[in-house]
């Protein structure tokens, strides 16, 4: 099994970012994790990619044995931006321009194993968003043939929140890879275990395109971003999730709820590993 985690780097001082990256790589080495996922936030982009990632931070990434995934512009709950699924061409082109700048920076310095994209906030009928989203994906594929991109299911109010819409998006783009966040998927069916496992079974037909499972827990009244090693009433069924979509040896089991906490990361890994046996 392949494991990874998101160390939650933030655009603070350059020294602090380098220190946190060193801690993340040390944790990955200690735990035998193959992937470190980095989020590029609005703040990082505004400060400048070379300012944030250049120098010592980029040197660390280039010297690391781990591969990297890049999560581009994680959703902000306060934002109403449809992003790359914006039905209006001009703002959509501006969002694509930002993504292209990020891709060009990393492809020219340290290519990522995977670029994670988000569908943005829903502002129109889903069919309208889907057409815009496909145009964006086609544009990226034209500019960068074979670029390893994936769409991730998102949270409340997003274009890709509802299971039927996420499934339709995968149906409409036969070569598109995807990332599945377990907590958000469970929230999308109102924490109904049978509806959740219908969702998983439906995703099973795209199993060869599943690049990563982002493991997070959730339950009614408990939020949707809890560690999976912490037992909560009516939380996700880790074993059943693994049996349904988690056996592809190429996918990455990624933990993004506990930061760089090595004991907690070890417990997360143990939960997944033991559930898969």
pLDDT in tens, 166-194: 999 999 999 999 999 999 999 999 999 99
Residue 31, number of CB atoms within 10 A of its CB: 15
What is the spatial distance between Cα 153 and Cα 132, in angstroms, rounded to a whole number?
17
Residue 219, number of CB atoms within 10 A of its CB: 17
For residue 79, the model assigns a pLDDT of 78
Strand ranges for 41-94 from DSSP E: 67-72
Average pLDDT for the chain = 94
For residue 80, the model assigns a pLDDT of 85
The stretches in the chain having pLDDT less than 70 are none
For residue 259, the model assigns a pLDDT of 92
For residue 249, the model assigns a pLDDT of 87
Angle at 35 between CA 25 and CA 45, to 5 degrees: 80
What is the spatial distance between Cα 218 and Cα 38, in angstroms, rounded to a whole number?
23
- Domains located in the chain, CATH noted: 2-275 (3.20.20.150)
For residue 224, the model assigns a pLDDT of 78
- Give pTM, 2 decimals: 0.95
For residue 37, the model assigns a pLDDT of 98
């Amino acid at each position: 099994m392949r494991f990874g985690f998101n160390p939650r780097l933030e655009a603070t001082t350059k020294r602090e970012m380098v220190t946190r990256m060193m801690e993340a790589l040390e944790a990955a080495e200690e735990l035998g994790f193959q992937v470190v996922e980095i989020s590029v936030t609005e703040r990082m982009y505004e400060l400048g990619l070379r300012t944030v990632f250049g120098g010592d931070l980029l040197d660390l990434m280039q010297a690391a044995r781990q591969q990297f995934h890049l999560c581009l512009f994680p959703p902000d709950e306060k934002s109403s931006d449809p992003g790359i699924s914006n039905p209006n061409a001009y703002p959509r082109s501006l969002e694509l321009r930002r993504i292209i700048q990020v891709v060009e920076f990393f492809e020219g310095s340290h290519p990522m194993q995977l670029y994670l994209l988000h569908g943005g906030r829903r502002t129109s009928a889903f069919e309208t968003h889907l057409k815009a989203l496909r145009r964006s994906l086609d544009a990226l594929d034209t500019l960068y043939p074979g670029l390893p991109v994936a769409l991730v299911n998102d949270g409340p109010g997003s274009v890709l929140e509802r299971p039927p819409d996420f499934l339709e998006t995968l149906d409409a783009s036969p070569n598109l890879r995807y990332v599945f966040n377990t907590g958000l998927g469970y929230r999308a069916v109102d924490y109904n275990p049978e509806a959740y496992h219908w969702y998983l079974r439906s995703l099973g037909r795209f199993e060869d395109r599943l690049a990563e499972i982002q493991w997070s827990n959730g339950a009614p009244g408990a939020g949707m971003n809890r560690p999976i090693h912490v037992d909560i009433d009516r939380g996700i069924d880790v074993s059943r999730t693994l049996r349904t979509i988690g056996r592809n040896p190429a996918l990455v089991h990624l933990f993004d709820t506990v930061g760089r906490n090595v004991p907690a990361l070890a417990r997360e890994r143990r939960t997944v590993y033991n559930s898969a046996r």
